[in-house]
Amino acid sequence: MKNEKCGGAATPRWFGYALQSLVYLSHHACNQSRCPSGEIALKICTEATLTRRILALLAKADIVEAREGRDGGYALRKSPDTITLAEVYRALHIVDPLFSGMMDTANDGAIGTEVKPVFMEVVRESEKRLMDVLERRTIADLIRDVYGLHA
């Protein structure tokens, strides 16, 4: 299990954890109607605290429902075939674009200064194309592609 700090802003890794959480909630429905965050965290190999932060953002976006207490846990609020990957991405409010590493290299030096505007255009275009792809894919698509099943 890789430790990802749960403090601070959402990172692109959170997107992967969010998608895995949603696949688990929709395909591996718990014996009860809700799954506790600890169980989800165990299945996606991350910390329960981070899983709760991610699921809280998804709950705020009405993608999942959160219930506290002894019988609490998380459940999908929508059908997996209506949850686009873009909706999940936007719900996390990821501050760094997925391609931000390239921009980090263009801060100093003569060449870095010269290529920075070009890198910015590449990153903008890449992010736009990424969002186009994410708009076309749903959680149900992930389930089908991974397990060969319909959600």
pLDDT digits (tens, 9 = 90+) for 66-76: 988 877 899 99
Q: What is the mean pLDDT of residues 33-48?
A: 92
pLDDT, one tens digit per residue, over 111-137 is 888 888 888 888 889 889 989 999 999
User: Which residues, at least 6 apart from 94, have a Cβ–Cβ distance to it below 8 Å?
Assistant: 9, 10, 11, 12, 14, 15
**What is the C-alpha to C-alpha distance for residues 147 and 151, in angstroms, rounded to an integer?**
10
Q: Write out the residue range of the structural domain in which residue 133 sits.
A: 12-147
**What is the C-alpha to C-alpha distance for residues 51 and 132, in angstroms, rounded to an integer?**
26
CATH number at 37 reads 1.10.10.10
pTM for this predicted structure: 0.83
Give burial (CB, 10 Å; 0-12/13-18/19+) of 35.
buried
Whether residue 6 is contained in a domain is answered as no
Whether residue 4 is contained in a domain is answered as no
Give burial (CB, 10 Å; 0-12/13-18/19+) of 59.
middle
What domain count does the chain have?
1
